[in-house]
Structure 1
Amino acid sequence: MIVPLAEDVAQAYSLRPVTSRELLEAGLKELYESAGRKLPPELTKRLDGATDPAAFLSVVVDARVSLGKVDELTVPRAFVVAAKGFTRATDAFCGLSLRGNTSPMSSDAEFGLGFELDGATGEAWLTYVLGTQMANQAVIPSPASFPWHVTRVIPGSPASRAGMRVGDVVTHVGEQVVDAKSHNSLFRLLAAPTVSPMAQFGQIERPTTATSFRVKREGAAVAEFKLLRDGYTPESIFGVTRRENGLWDFLIDREAKIGYVRVGVVEPPAGGAFEEAVTGLIQGGAAGLVLDLRWCPGGYINPAVSITDVLLPPGKVIVNIQTRKPEQFSGQPVYVSKFGGGTDVFYKLPLVVLVNHETTGGGEMIAAALQDHGRGLIVGQRTFGKANVMNVVAVSLADGSPTGLGFRVSTGFTLRPNGKNRHRFADSKPGDPWGVKPNRGFEMPTTPDLSARLRAEAEQFAARPAGSRNAVPYDDPLEDPQRLMAVRYLKELIRAADKKSSGEKK
């Protein structure tokens, strides 16, 4: 498996030339180091002399035999570790994922229900998915830590709508107790990771039936839920309060008529949802908008373009794409605004954009386009600096059957509308051009602890179901001083614009 993957990645990776030999050496080094050993020099020499897949495979087999038995390095785990090593020869953003998942914050093991368990993410989850393919019907150890602690609830999911919370401890699945004896088989029942041969993106087949859960909460409270796997679209556009009907209210200051929209993962539904939110605000007479891109983990180019398009006049460059292999990129080399919200009200609406060091990828793309076109005020902290375009190479078993996994590969970069770099490379310095900096004089430093607390509170707030009377800290505007400051800056912009307009009329 690892040799064909190395060949596919070498062909697809576009930031610089890389060979199968380099990838395999990097993978074997990772494998050996995970076992506390160094890759023997003779194996490196044999890789140098290998000229075809069969020769590479012979080296890989001998390397694994030479390593000997290591309890933690099962066959699927060894593959995941070796594939992780490919990042040594490519870049830190490449790596294994569920097939089709090019967004780093998209869910891992959410069971089609919208909640994640402690331990069942990242490499542990990928190893489990691959292991179940190899073990066929055998029950293998669950990656979830026992007891089952809920670590994430996805907004808009069945779990979110039912009121499941981060911190809940799942004690029952149906009438079955989750205990030391049953948790492996119950996890297998929930995950049901049998990948359909017809699946194009490695979707996981699960029965579309309701499953009941019982959870224990802090203070010994018990809650029960019945969750239905009926398919759902995760929310990625959030407002100020959630109405009883589940829709968001986007007004943060009713007296001043100021709107507020926070963007989460930039996935396909986000563009339409953002346009709908801004349209509703404008129809309601909004005087300005705070666009919150803090903690936005990025996502996909098209929805990021759609979001930006709403706030720019037609004919403005949103993003440039740079790649060494244009034939491997299915999108456009340049994306230009077309919609402009439909009327000039959209692209003349006073705007403040909140960013921080966790604003990544697509979120940075939006902020950079708005900044380059003088569209609003960028406030906060310098962004993360991720601008590489990703594609996914499928991972198959030795017999060619699908695994449900893919390998994310960097195929190019997005550049700012002005053509400047936005990506932070491994050797980038603070003075180099990367990320998006706030407008001069509008930096808002914060401590890592405060940023982490605000992010956790914002996510808890977003996942709270409609009609809930459960108060969370984020309900209090004073809990988020950065957002309050953004509203203050926006009021100043509006007053300045009104004063200018009055002067022009005289």
Structure 2
Amino acid sequence: MRNSATTAWLICLCVSLTVIWGKATHGDEQDDTYELMRLFVDTFEEIDENYVKDIDRRDLIEAAVQGMLAKLDPYSNYISPEDLSAFEQDVQQEFGGIGIQVHFDQDHREIVVMTPLPGTPAYKAGVRAGDRIISIEGQTVAEFEVGKELATAVKLLKGPAGKKVTITVRHETTDDDGTAEEIAENSEELPEDQKVEVKSTIEKLEIERDVIKVATVMGDRYNPDGTWNFMLDDASKIGYIRLSHFSRNSTSELLAALKQLEKEGMKGLVLDLRWNPGGLLTSATEISDLFIESGKIVSTKGRNTQERTWRAKKRGTFSDFPMAILINRFSASASEIVSACLQDHDRAIIVGERSWGKGSVQNVIELEDGNSALKLTTASYHRPSGKNIHRFPKAKPEDEWGVMPDEGEKVEFTTKQMIEYRKFRSERDVLSNEAPPESEFVDTQLDKALEYVQSAMSGEVKKQEAKEETEQVEPEEESKKAAFIPRSFFVVPAQTVL
């Protein structure tokens, strides 16, 4: 019975695939395709019937799909039904949750709240930075499956808006300045009579989930009311905007920040696209259009897609102030579209490091009536000047790819500086009634961007020649070392949002 059912199912699969392929192929090509599909079906049937252990058919099909995609580029992939929800949340930046950024403390096996998001259910319930979540829905965090602690927390904390979730948190406080974690660490080195006691209280909270909207546009620090402060230098009136990635809401968020800065008398702007992996092409074109009045923004070309060009419109353009864009080796895709566009139109100067080099466009294609999806590279994009952005396999440093900083504006970070920046930014992005903590970290890339904007505002802009004393050129071996460290390690904020 099973053999006949399996055979019938496989024949249907083979016929369906062959009919689909036949729409685009003829003659010998169609015959070859049929033979190749028969090879696939025969292999599938042999595994299904004769492999030493029973294997789930869906697992086999998904493995076959992933195997096909592995022969393509790194950006084409299959999105399973289990992963589709998380993918859609990444694009929309909306989900049902309580609104906290967390990381997992491996030593104490506790989930540490890095910061609550302003105005969210967690913030209103009294959850604060430094709190430790010790149980969720009655399940002790310390007993979560090893290696899947955050995944388990995500599953328990995220859910439909309006539904309640119960968590137990430990609030840690002291009568001294500094966080409980810092004081406990420093106290270990003190004599017994000088050690500081860390006080803690346990509280059980029932929190009603809401739709959490994760901001992609951020400033330098939080204001006391939970809004972002986008004015980096009140005296010089230089604005500073960070864009974490390009989602559906990014354009409206950025527009609101620009209008706020405009009201505050902004005279110059630094747009920080460091560690920005990209996102939606539409958001990239819309954001580029905010800063240039006319001309080509980007064009795309594909094998079976019509060539398309996006052009800027004058209406709504912010063009009356000097501007610098910060990029680094992890700025990719949509980040490169924006920085290349503004560089080619002489609208902004590019400061930092050479970008990643991703000049391809992925189209998300629904599968199984929308229950799964295929993210497939269907086109490549080109900057207004026509220069190439994509870093092809075996590309050399001297080849044309990525977005390069303007002459004299190259400032590279060593791996150590990247790690220090991550720590600095994570501490600075905490929502608190107090000012951000003091830090010895010097952001040389931001300083370089500010130097340009300030000189442009004073009318003293000059194309500077690259000077060794103004650049921190990373040794070749250090650059290679950093390139092999996953981008996610340096992403800021480097926490899970729940």
| TM-score bracket relative to the smaller structure | 0.5 to 0.7
Residue number among 351, 354, 364 corresponding to 1:392 in the alignment? 364
Q: Which range is displaced more, 483-492 or 297-306?
A: 483-492
Aligned to 1:248: 228
Asked if structure 1 preserves the Cα contact closer than 8 Å seen for 2:113 and 2:129, the reply is: yes
Q: Deviations over 1:47-68 (max 9, x none)?
A: x886375652331242466764
Q: Give matches, 1:467-486, under 5 Å.
A: 467-469=432-434, 471=436, 476=439, 478-486=441-449
Provide the C-alpha distance between the structure 1 equivalents of 2:88 and 2:46, rounded to a whole number of angstroms.
Answer: 36
Provide the C-alpha distance between the structure 2 equivalents of 1:241 and 1:277, rounded to a whole number of angstroms.
Answer: 13
**What is the one-letter code of the residue matched to 2:296?**
V
Gaps of 5+ in 1: 19-47, 120-143, 194-203, 500-506
Change (3 A) 1:209 1:388: same
Change (3 A) 1:227 1:299: farther
Provide the C-alpha distance between the structure 2 equivalents of 1:435 and 1:185, rounded to a whole number of angstroms.
Answer: 37
Provide the C-alpha distance between the structure 1 equivalents of 2:53 and 2:208, rounded to a whole number of angstroms.
Answer: 43
Provide the C-alpha distance between the structure 1 equivalents of 2:206 and 2:248, rounded to a whole number of angstroms.
Answer: 28
Provide the C-alpha distance between the structure 2 equivalents of 1:476 and 1:316, rounded to a whole number of angstroms.
Answer: 43
Residue number among 35, 38, 54 corresponding to 1:51 in the alignment? 35
**What is the one-letter code of the residue matched to 1:191?**
K
Q: Give matches, 1:355-504, under 5 Å.
A: 355-396=327-368, 403=371, 405-455=372-422, 457-459=424-426, 461-462=428-429, 464-465=430-431, 467-469=432-434, 471=436, 476=439, 478-496=441-459
Question: Aligned pair 1:267/2:247, yes or no?
Answer: yes
Q: Give matches, 1:301-380, under 5 Å.
A: 301-313=281-293, 315-326=294-305, 333-339=308-314, 341-342=316-317, 346-380=318-352
Gaps of 5+ in 2: 1-8, 26-31, 173-180, 185-197, 463-498
- The secondary structure found in structure 2 opposite 1:410 is strand
Change (3 A) 1:457 1:187: same
- The secondary structure found in structure 2 opposite 1:347 is coil
Change (3 A) 1:368 1:357: same
- The secondary structure found in structure 2 opposite 1:421 is coil
Q: TM-score, normalised by structure 1?
A: 0.67
**What is the one-letter code of the residue matched to 2:451?**
R
Question: Aligned pair 1:91/2:76, yes or no?
Answer: no
Aligned length: 412
- The secondary structure found in structure 2 opposite 1:303 is helix
Provide the C-alpha distance between the structure 1 equivalents of 2:93 and 2:217, rounded to a whole number of angstroms.
Answer: 20
- Find the structure with the greater CA-based Rg: 2
- Compute the displacement of 1:418 (Å): 1.4
- Compute the displacement of 1:244 (Å): 2.7
Aligned to 2:155: 191
Aligned to 2:135: 172
Change (3 A) 1:359 1:498: closer
Provide the C-alpha distance between the structure 2 equivalents of 1:422 and 1:448, rounded to a whole number of angstroms.
Answer: 24
- Compute the displacement of 1:452 (Å): 3.7
Aligned to 2:167: 213
Q: TM-score, normalised by structure 2?
A: 0.68
**What is the one-letter code of the residue matched to 1:206?**
P
Provide the C-alpha distance between the structure 1 equivalents of 2:36 and 2:348, rounded to a whole number of angstroms.
Answer: 55
Change (3 A) 1:282 1:498: farther
Asked if structure 2 preserves the Cα contact closer than 8 Å seen for 1:272 and 1:306, the reply is: no
Asked if structure 1 preserves the Cα contact closer than 8 Å seen for 2:325 and 2:339, the reply is: yes
Q: Give matches, 1:140-155, under 5 Å.
A: 147=109, 149=111
Provide the C-alpha distance between the structure 2 equivalents of 1:77 and 1:384, rounded to a whole number of angstroms.
Answer: 33
Q: Give matches, 1:2-41, under 5 Å.
A: none
Aligned to 1:38: none
